[in-house]
């Protein structure tokens, strides 16, 4: 199945609490999702800038709560992203195994994000067990 839509995201830097290396930043994530997936998510991101301008890496985990093509529940998204001045931006966002709840129990899939004119869009290629 494919779900498509758009979302708004708020990224808020979190206070440095003296944990870990100070060159690794930590931020909270909050999203409002619209379209085939209607809902919200909250999570956290860790990021590090590269030594070359335009290079960075980030990892994040978020919990999505909403309705996906009429089925309600929650699931997690695991992000692994790199940005290179030489090769561009690469994201890998997946649903971790067994993270789905309620009517989304058993969900698996890959989540893709694109930006057009400052707006965020998603395409979610997922599978779910047959409804009971």
Q: In the chain, what are the domains?
A: 2-127 (2.40.350.10)
Provide the pairing of β-strand 56-68 with 108-116: unpaired
- Give the pLDDT of residue 88: 86
pLDDT for the residue numbered 132: 60
pLDDT of residue 130: 82
Question: Could you list the mean pLDDT of each consecutive 10-residue stretch along the chain, which spans 132 residues?
Answer: 97 82 89 98 94 91 98 98 89 97 98 94 95 64
- Position 2 scores a pLDDT of 98
**CA dihedral (74, 2, 29, 84) positive or negative:** positive
pLDDT of the residue at 72? 98
- 3-class secondary structure per residue, 45-79: EEEEECCCCCCEEEEEEEEEEEEECCEEEEEEEEE
- Asked if 24 contacts 46 with a C-beta cutoff of 8 angstroms, the reply is yes
């Amino acid at each position: 199945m494919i779900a498509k839509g758009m979302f708004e995201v708020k990224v808020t830097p979190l206070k440095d609490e003296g944990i870990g290396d100070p060159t690794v930043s930590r931020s909270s994530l909050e999203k409002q999702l619209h379209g085939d997936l209607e809902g919200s998510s909250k999570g956290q991101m860790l990021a590090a800038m590269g030594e070359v301008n335009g290079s960075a890496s980030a990892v994040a985990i978020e919990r999505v709560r909403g309705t996906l093509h009429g089925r309600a529940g929650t699931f997690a998204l695991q992000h692994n992203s790199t940005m290179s001045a030489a090769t561009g931006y690469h994201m890998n966002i997946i649903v971790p195994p067994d993270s789905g709840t309620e009517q989304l129990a058993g969900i698996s899939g890959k989540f893709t994000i694109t930006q057009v004119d400052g707006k965020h869009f998603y395409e979610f290629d997922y599978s779910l067990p047959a409804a009971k």
